[in-house]
Structures are given as C-alpha cells and as structure tokens.
C-alpha cells in the first residue's frame, strides 16, 4: 500500500512520502489509504490525540530522532510552511533510526491483528513519535504491544547516533498531552495526583506503587515523595530515571492514566499528571572547592605561581632585554632619526646644534670627570659610582656624555616611582623604568581582597596577596636575569677563555657589562625609605655579581647613610659636581648664542663674518650678570635664551631674579597651607633675611635662634628638601647653610629690599618671638607662684628665685624691644604701598 505522510507543521498539511508497504502480511492493504502526520501540537493543534473507535490504539516509539534536534524548536514560526519537506528529509535512513510504519510492516506476528497505521505524530524534541493504529476488534492492544516488544528485542534497531541503545515501543495507556512548548525532556518526572471526578479527593501513591507502575518503562534511580509537612496542592512525587529516554517513554505512555482502587488510586480513582522537572546540577565540584579552602587556595597559588614562572617570566625577561638593548627603539635607527629631525623643518637641511649648544664648554671643564667615569667602567672589579650635585648642575648630561658610546645601558628614574600615589601606580612606574611587561598592577589590590576573604573562610592567611616589597623584588630580580643574559651574549665557545665559568668570565670582561644609571636617588629625601632601600640592595647585588656597572645620580649629600646599608664594607667612588666657574659659565652662554647664528638674518651684509656674540655690544655686561646669577646650568641656559630673544644681559638677569623671588614667596612663604609644609613662614623668612646679608650661615648658630629651638633640625632638612637652602657637611655632620641656588642669593636681596614685604614678614617674626617670650614668662611666673606658696622660704631657694626673676626681666626686655620694633614696622606698612 502507498502511505502518504501529511499534515506536518503547527497547522495540518498533507505530504506524500511514498512509503511502499505492499506485499506485507502484518499490515492489511487498503488502497490509497492515507496516513496523517501532524506536528508537535497534536491533532488540529488541540494538544491531544483522539481515539474515536474501540479498535484504535496509540503506540509510542522512542529513538526515532536524535534528541539533539531540539534546536529546531527555536526556529521562527514561518518554518511551519517548510516543515513537511523537512520531515520527509528527517525520515530518511541517514537521519532517522527507522520509520515506525516500517517497524510495524516487518512485525509478521501481527498478521492476525490486521494492524493499519492511521496517523503518525513525530516528537522532535523527545526524539520519538506517536503512531495511531486500527486493529481487529477481537485483538487486545496488550497483545499488539507484547508482539512489538518481542520483535524489537529479536531484531533490535540501534540508532546511528547512539549505537549502545535500541528502539523501544510501548502502548500508550493514558491520555498524552502533545504540546509544542519549549520544555525540554529531563530524566526527572514530576508525578501529580489529580482527582478523577470533581468533588472527590485524589490519593497519593506510595513508593512501592509508583515503582510497580513505572519500572517497566526503564530503570529508576530514585523515588522522592512529597515531604510530609508540605502543604502544596496537588500532591506530588519525583521520579528519577537512569536515562532521559526512559523518562520520555514513561511520560508519553502514562500521562493522564486513571488508577483504580486496586492500583492505589482510592475509591473514586486518581489521575496522574506527568511533567518534566529540570534537574538542578549538583555542583559537587564547586561545593568541594568552596568547602576545602585550606587545600584549594594553596593549590591555586601553586598553579598560578607555576604559570607565572613558566609563561610570564620569560616574556618579561625578553622585554627587559629589549628595553636595555633598545632592540625595538626607532630612535637608534639612523634613517628614522634623520627623517624625524628634518620633519620639524622641511625647508631646512642644515644641521641645527642649538639643542646641545654650549655643552662643549661644560665638557671641556668636566673632561677629567668624564674620563674618570670611563676609566672606572673599564676596571675588572665591581663598579659602584655616585655622582652627587645640586639639581640643575648637569649630572645626567655628564653621564650621557660619558656613556654616549655604550649601547647597553638603562636609566631608572626614581622620581616617577616615588611620586606614585598608590601601590599599583608604584609597581607600574617601576616596571616602566626597566621595560618589565606584562605587569598586572591591579592584581595587587585584587589579590589582597581574595586573601582577606580566604582568611575569613580558612582562618589563616594564605599568602595569595603580595606586598609592595615582594612586587618590587620580582621586578628587580627579572631585571637581574636580563642583565646577566645581555652580559653573556658576546661569549663564544671558541674563545680563548671558554673554559671559564660564567661568573669568572663576567669578572674578567667588565666591558661586556651593561650600565645601570639610577637617577634622582633619594628624591624627596628619606620620606619613604622602602624604594631607595630596595634599589640600593638590588644595585649592590648586581654589582657584587658582576652583572652590571651601577651609577647613582643624587642631589642629597647624605647618600652614604642609605647606600652604606647595602654595601657596608665598600668605599664608594664619588664625583661631586658643583656650579660652573664664572669663566665656564660665560663660555657656555656665548656658545649657546653662537649655535643658532646660521639662522640669524642679521648675518648678512657687513656683519656676515661675525658671530652673534661678536655682533652684540652688550655682552660686556655678562661678567657682572653671571656673578649675580651663579653657575647653575639651568639658570645659564635660561639666561642665554633670553639674551638670544633680544634682551640685554642685565635685563635678562633682572627678570630671572624677579621670577625667582616670586617663586620663593609662593613656594616657601604664602603658597602652601600649614598642613602640607613642615616649616612656618617666619622660619623661612628668617633664613631668607640672614642669607641676604651673608652667603653662608653657621648651621649650629641657626639652631640657637628662638624660632628654631623646637624641631629646628627637621625644619632645616625640610627646607633643604624643598631646595630653599643647601646644607654642607664636614666629617659627617652639617656645618653650614647656603642658598638652594646661586640665583637665590640675589633673589633674597631683592626680597629684603622690598620695605613693605620685609616689614610685614618681620612683623610676623616679632609676633612669634613675643609669643615665645610670653610663654617663657608664664612658665617662670608659675614656678615663682609655687615657690611663694611654700609655708617657709628656705634659704637654698633664693638663688632659684633670683634666676627666675632675672629670666623674667630678660624676657620682658625682649618684649619691650620687640614692641618698639613692631611700632616702626607698622609705621612702614601705614606709609608705604
């Protein structure tokens, strides 16, 4: 017989599939008998399959389609029109395991039953199909079910997608609900007990009764009855099947079945409703991990550490090497440097030496220092060099000149590291100085939070988070490995000293060691000694191991205190830079002026053969100006640029002095609030006033002043750190005080020449000193009062009383003198602007 398959989709349609069943003896022939196939929504989208005759039965076949076809449920609704052709494709032997009608055709034991297939309802999301059949009224459907079961056992049909399972078929004994909702099958079924008739009460089944009903459809893992104290209605139980296909088979065959009294359904009967219950994953792995933090967290730290060492450390070492050797630096490429230099002036192809103008005069003056540094770098034993000098004295320029022919060098600037406001920023700044990357500075705070949480869970610290000290050690150690690799790059197996060990070879070849320049060492003094201690210790290690030459650049004269901790038994090689002499300073300014002479339009005509300095008639003022300005390189360069801009030397120096005076007022007297400075305006002004009168002050004499009796040394150190003054030392102790810059000497004089400013600030000093004397008098009077309250005045206290009275008289005399001076100062303020 020809079987046409139709009505595929959410609405009924007909599709002839040309299934030839002629010649069979198990299914009776009916000419052109049509077999209807519907979609997931049942017949006519009713959600049910109606059995209208007593000789009709409903079978369910599983393993017809793969359960992986559940994604078809997500297709848009317009796919319903294409579903008939899709079903024809799915029924092919290369997709479906077998056609249920073909199974019935091959079951020869059903010959007497005269089985005819009327409707096929595929269930894609459940991987099966319902088959409605007509049979001989004299045949019990149970017989048909048993014959099909025997046939499928004798001739098993195993789907290609799961060859370990075979197709099964069962008689549908309930009233299945055929829905197309997006409810995916699960191995757990929820069994709900409903009354068979309105007004009656359903009866809950025991575990034994549920087992006897559902066990024929597949192995059960567990039966979970409703908790006794649960008030939920209707009553329910959970059934856990070993396989999801068995749950599908039981759900479709027993949904809506009515259980009689002998089956445990009570007098009026009970109807059971079956639904898939999504099972929650046990998450036992997660629970175990969370429940054993003392095991998991150390193991996690070990894994992370292993990954870091095996993966990230070689990468970081590579980047540090590239940073030191400048492998990826375009600045060292001559072609790129030439184009970059010419891009600033496309019309000019002449050399412009203005950027380095005047430095030849400095190098001529400091040639001995340059040669000394180069000689130290060629010595075999370890090199630990300190270049000390005030800011702006040309320390870095000196080292750049001494190392200009060395390729392998790295400069570590402590200033951005010290100025970082957080630990993460400090780590990032330190890593950036040596090219250490990738750096996960944010992990420092994040790991701290994890460590805190783990401590609450495990009760002890896990050590997952690292301190700033540990992070800096990692950066410096990685840099050490990179420096060692760079130093050993030139070693070859055929060298005459190839038999030497690496350490011996490094000691013998000092010229192969890279140079590490540590700039701004002790920046901001000893406010935070951690960074400088770590750097000095690391520098000592790489120097002792002959991995590199180390050069410190610092303005702090107390560097030996910090470096002595790292190398207590070593004598440092030191170069002290001072300001330029007047002759060198004058040559510097003149060379700076002559450097841009080629671009000067005045070089034509009668002055064509004269340099800029020779054409200037006012340069005879330089001697006087330089004596007022001093020999600081930064100030000299500023002077040269002003003169080149058209100003006379006197006017340029006057402007520089005036600008410096404004900076002093702003930075040291009025600019900072009391919380951010460690000195008072009166203390700063007293130094300014005295240094304006004499270039050098005695350190200990200043401490005897009333304004410096309380924490005077700390105040002077803070003012030195702020660069208002410079403290000179001898034999390890401070001896004298000088202006922070040479130009400050002239600026101090300019400030003290301002009568109104001087009167206002002197008035503040008088008020402060008067307050100090009044406190002293109060202290002396308090002691006299105590002595006067004694019942009898002993003879021995008479000297003490006389001493106290003398102190009171002295303080009172000072107060009167202060008041006299205050009157004069107020008069100045009233009369002048």
Four-residue CA torsion sign, 496, 497, 499, 502: negative
Does the pLDDT of residue 602 top 50, yes or no?
no
Per the CB < 8 A criterion, the answer to whether 88 and 15 are in contact is yes
Q: What is the mean pLDDT of residues 426-440?
A: 88
Q: What is the mean pLDDT of the chain?
A: 80
- ∠ CA 16-21-23, nearest 5°, is 150
Strand order in the sheet with 116-123: 16-20, 2-6, 35-37, 116-123, 128-134, 56-61, 169-171
Q: Please report, to the nearest 10 degrees, the dihedral formed by the alpha carbons of residues 558, 564, 569, 575 taken in order.
A: -40
Q: For residue range 152-172, what is the model confidence (pLDDT) as tens digits? A: 888 888 887 778 888 899 999
Q: Which residues contact 359 (CB under 8 A, 6 or more apart)?
A: 397, 401, 588
For 132, phi then psi, to 5°, come to -90, 125
Write the burial class of residue 222 (CB in 10 Å: 0-12 exposed, 13-18 middle, 19+ buried): exposed
Give me the pLDDT at residue 69, please.
63
Per the CB < 8 A criterion, the answer to whether 607 and 615 are in contact is yes
Give me the pLDDT at residue 138, please.
86
Write the burial class of residue 807 (CB in 10 Å: 0-12 exposed, 13-18 middle, 19+ buried): middle
Greatest mean pLDDT among 2-16, 311-325, 327-341 lies in 311-325
Q: Could you give the CA distance from residue 220 to residue 829 in angstroms, rounded to a whole number?
A: 104
Q: Could you give the CA distance from residue 656 to residue 245 in angstroms, rounded to a whole number?
A: 93
Q: Could you give the CA distance from residue 282 to residue 302 in angstroms, rounded to a whole number?
A: 27
- Domain 648-680+688-749: state its class: mainly alpha
Q: What is the mean pLDDT of residues 525-540?
A: 79
Classified by CATH at the fold level, domain 185-280 comes out as Alpha-Beta Plaits (3.30.70)
Percent of the chain with pLDDT over 90: 27
Q: Could you give the CA distance from residue 758 to residue 180 in angstroms, rounded to a whole number?
A: 96
- Which of 43, 47, 61 shows the shortest CA–CA distance to 256? 47
Does the pLDDT of residue 525 top 80, yes or no?
no
- ∠ CA 334-338-339, nearest 5°, is 120
Residues composing the chain: 833
Strand-pair partners of 733: 730
Q: Could you give the CA distance from residue 530 to residue 418 in angstroms, rounded to a whole number?
A: 10
Q: Which residues contact 494 (CB under 8 A, 6 or more apart)?
A: none
Q: What is the mean pLDDT of residues 574-591?
A: 84
Does the pLDDT of residue 477 top 50, yes or no?
yes
User: Mean pLDDT lowest for which of 17-26, 84-93, 318-327, 437-446?
Assistant: 17-26
Question: Terminus-to-terminus CA distance in the chain, angstroms?
Answer: 124
Question: Can you read off the two tokens belonging to residue 689?
Answer: 């006033």
Distance (Å) of CA 162 to CA 68, 159, 233, 369: 11, 5, 39, 86
Q: Could you give the CA distance from residue 308 to residue 470 in angstroms, rounded to a whole number?
A: 14
Give me the pLDDT at residue 92, please.
52
Give me the pLDDT at residue 10, please.
26
Measured in whole angstroms, the distance separating CA 777 from the mean position of its chain's CA atoms is 60
Place of tokens 């003169």: 643
Place of tokens 């005269």: 114
Give me the pLDDT at residue 17, please.
29
Does the pLDDT of residue 68 top 80, yes or no?
no
Confidence of residue 86 (pLDDT cuts 50, 70, 90): low
Q: How many CB atoms lie within 10 A of CB 233?
A: 9
Question: Can you read off the two tokens belonging to residue 110?
Answer: 């059903």
Distance (Å) of CA 600 to CA 276, 357, 615: 93, 15, 11
Question: Can you read off the two tokens belonging to residue 614?
Answer: 């020779």
Q: Identify whether 455 is preceded by a cis peptide bond (ω within 30 of 0).
A: no
Of all residues in the chain, what percent are helix, strand and coil, respectively (each to 5)?
A: 50, 15, 35
Q: Which residues contact 670 (CB under 8 A, 6 or more apart)?
A: 681
Residues 609-636: b if buried by 16+ CB within 10 A, e if exposed = eebbbeebeebebbeebbebbbbbbebb
- What is the three-class DSSP state of 699? helix
Higher per-residue confidence, 793 vs 345? 793
Q: For residue range 227-247, what is the model confidence (pLDDT) as tens digits? A: 988 888 889 999 999 999 999
Question: Can you read off the two tokens belonging to residue 273?
Answer: 């409703």
What is the DSSP code (8-state) at residue 715? H
Q: For residue range 704-731, what is the model confidence (pLDDT) as tens digits? A: 998 998 888 989 988 888 889 988 888 7
What is the DSSP code (8-state) at residue 40? T
- What is the three-class DSSP state of 543? helix
Give me the pLDDT at residue 15, please.
25
- Which of 192, 316, 322, 166 shows the shortest CA–CA distance to 256? 192
Place of tokens 């317009």: 78
Residue 194, CA atoms < 13 Å, CB-side half-sphere: 14
Per the CB < 8 A criterion, the answer to whether 103 and 60 are in contact is no
Q: Could you give the CA distance from residue 199 to residue 195 in angstroms, rounded to a whole number?
A: 8
Give me the pLDDT at residue 236, please.
93
Q: How many CB atoms lie within 10 A of CB 509?
A: 18
Q: How many CB atoms lie within 10 A of CB 693?
A: 10
Radius of gyration of the chain (CA): 49
- Strand runs labelled E in 733-797: 733-739
Distance (Å) of CA 314 to CA 233, 307, 490, 538, 577: 65, 11, 20, 20, 40
Q: For residue range 260-291, what is the model confidence (pLDDT) as tens digits? A: 888 888 888 899 999 999 876 667 788 788 88
Place of tokens 């249920």: 100
Q: Could you give the CA distance from residue 332 to residue 79 in angstroms, rounded to a whole number?
A: 65
Q: Using DSSP, how many helices (H) and how many strands (E) does the chain show?
A: 30, 20
Per the CB < 8 A criterion, the answer to whether 462 and 301 are in contact is yes
User: Mean pLDDT lowest for which of 58-62, 96-100, 111-115, 298-302?
Assistant: 96-100
Q: Could you give the CA distance from residue 173 to residue 393 in angstroms, rounded to a whole number?
A: 102
Alpha helical stretches, state H, 567-611 = 582-595
Higher per-residue confidence, 459 vs 765? 765
Q: Could you give the CA distance from residue 696 to residue 737 in angstroms, rounded to a whole number?
A: 6
What does CATH list as the number for 303-325+358-576?
3.40.50.300
Does the pLDDT of residue 695 top 70, yes or no?
yes
Place of tokens 């320390």: 395
Question: Can you read off the two tokens belonging to residue 209?
Answer: 């009764």
Give me the pLDDT at residue 604, please.
46
Give me the pLDDT at residue 166, please.
87
Q: Could you give the CA distance from residue 19 to residue 105 in angstroms, rounded to a whole number?
A: 11
Per the CB < 8 A criterion, the answer to whether 505 and 488 are in contact is yes
Per the CB < 8 A criterion, the answer to whether 134 and 51 are in contact is no
Percent of the chain with pLDDT over 70: 80
Does the pLDDT of residue 646 top 70, yes or no?
yes
Question: Can you read off the two tokens belonging to residue 173?
Answer: 């004994």
Question: Can you read off the two tokens belonging to residue 736?
Answer: 């004298």
- Which of 740, 386, 418 shows the shortest CA–CA distance to 554? 386
């Amino acid at each position: 017989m020809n079987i046409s398959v139709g009505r595929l989709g959410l609405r009924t349609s007909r599709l002839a599939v040309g299934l030839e069943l002629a010649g069979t003896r198990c299914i009776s022939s009916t000419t052109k008998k049509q077999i209807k196939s519907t979609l997931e929504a049942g017949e006519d989208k009713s959600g049910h399959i109606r059995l209208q005759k007593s000789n009709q039965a409903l079978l369910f076949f599983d393993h017809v389609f793969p359960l992986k076809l559940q994604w078809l449920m997500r297709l848009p609704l317009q796919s319903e029109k294409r579903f008939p052709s899709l079903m024809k494709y799915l029924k092919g032997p290369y997709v479906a395991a077998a056609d249920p009608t073909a199974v019935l055709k091959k079951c020869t034991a059903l010959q007497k039953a005269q089985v005819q297939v009327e409707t096929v309802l595929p269930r894609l999301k459940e991987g099966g199909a319902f088959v409605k059949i007509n049979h001989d009224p004299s045949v019990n459907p149970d017989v048909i079910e048993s014959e099909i079961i025997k046939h499928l056992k004798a001739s098993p049909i195993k789907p290609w997608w799961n060859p370990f399972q075979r197709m099964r078929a069962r008689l549908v004994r309930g009233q299945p609900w055929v829905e197309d909702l997006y409810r995916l099958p699960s191995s757990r079924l929820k069994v709900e007990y409903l009354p068979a008739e309105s007004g009656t009460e359903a009866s809950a089944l025991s575990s034994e009764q549920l087992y006897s009903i559902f066990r024929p459809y597949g192995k059960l893992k567990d039966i979970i009855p409703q908790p006794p104290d649960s008030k939920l209605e209707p009553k329910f139980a959970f059934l856990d099947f070993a396989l999801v296909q068995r749950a599908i088979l039981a759900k479709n065959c027993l949904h809506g079945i009515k259980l009689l009294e002998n089956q445990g359904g009570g007098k009026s009967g009970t109807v059971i409703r079956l639904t898939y219950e999504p099972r929650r994953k046990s998450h036992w792995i997660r629970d175990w991990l969370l429940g054993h933090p003392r095991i998991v967290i150390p193991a996690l730290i070990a894994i992370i550490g292993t990954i870091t060492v095996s993966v990230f450390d070689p990468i970081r070492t590579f980047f540090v090497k590239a940073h030191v050797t400048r492998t990826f630096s375009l600045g060292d490429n001559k072609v790129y440097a030439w184009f970059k230099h010419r891009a600033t002036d496309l019309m000019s192809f002449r050399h412009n030496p203005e950027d380095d103008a005047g430095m030849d005069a400095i190098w001529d003056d400091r040639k001995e220092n340059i040669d000394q540094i180069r000689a130290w770098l060629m010595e075999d034993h370890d090199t630990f060099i300190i270049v000390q000098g005030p800011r702006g004295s040309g320390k870095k320029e000196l080292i750049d000149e001494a190392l200009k022919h060395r390729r392998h060098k790295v400069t570590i600037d402590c200033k951005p590291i010290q100025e970082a406001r957080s630990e993460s920023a400090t780590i990032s700044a330190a890593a950036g100085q040596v090219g250490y990357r990738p750096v996960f500075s944010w992990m420092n705070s994040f790991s701290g939070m994890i460590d805190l949480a783990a401590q609450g869970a495990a009760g002890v610290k896990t050590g997952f988070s690292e301190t700033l000290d540990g992070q800096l050690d990692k950066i410096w150690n990685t840099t050490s490995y990179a420096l060692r690799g760079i130093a050993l790059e030139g070693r070859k197996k055929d060298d005459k000293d190839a038999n030497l060990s690496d350490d011996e070879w490094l000691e013998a070849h000092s010229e192969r060691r890279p140079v590490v320049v540590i700039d701004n060492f002790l920046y901001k003094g000893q406010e935070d000694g951690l960074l400088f201690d770590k750097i000095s210790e690391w520098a000592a290690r790489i120097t002792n191991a002959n991995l590199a030459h180390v050069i410190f650049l610092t303005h702090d004269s107390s560097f030996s205190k910090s470096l002595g901790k790292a190398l207590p038994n070593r004598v440092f090689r030191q170069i002290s830079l001072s300001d330029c002499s007047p002759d060198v300073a004058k040559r510097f300014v003149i060379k700076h002026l002559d450097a841009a002479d080629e671009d000067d339009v005045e070089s034509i005509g009668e002055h064509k053969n004269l340099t800029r300095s020779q054409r200037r008639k006012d340069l005879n003022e330089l001697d006087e100006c330089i004596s007022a300005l001093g020999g600081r390189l930064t100030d000299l360069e500023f002077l040269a640029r002003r003169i080149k801009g058209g100003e006379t030397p006197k006017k340029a120096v006057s402007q520089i002095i005036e600008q410096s005076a404004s900076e002093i007022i702003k930075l040291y007297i009025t600019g900072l609030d009391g919380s951010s400075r460690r000195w008072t305006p009166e203390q700063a002004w007293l130094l300014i006033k005295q240094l304006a009168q004499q270039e050098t002050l005695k350190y200990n004499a200043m401490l005897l002043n009333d304004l410096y009796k309380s924490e005077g040394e700390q105040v002077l150190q803070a003012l030195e750190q702020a660069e208002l003054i410079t403290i000179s030392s001898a034999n390890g102790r401070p001896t004298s005080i000088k202006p922070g810059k040479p130009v400050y000497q002239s600026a101090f004089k300019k400030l003290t020449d301002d009568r109104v400013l001087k009167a206002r600030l002197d008035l503040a000093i008088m008020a402060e000193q008067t307050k100090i004397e009044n406190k002293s008098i109060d202290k002396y009077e308090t002691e006299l009062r105590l002595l006067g309250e004694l019942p009898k005045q002993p003879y021995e206290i008479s000297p003490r009383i006389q001493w106290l009275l003398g102190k009171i008289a002295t303080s009172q005399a000072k107060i009167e003198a202060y008041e006299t001076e205050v009157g004069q100062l107020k008069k100045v303020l009233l009369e002048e602007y």
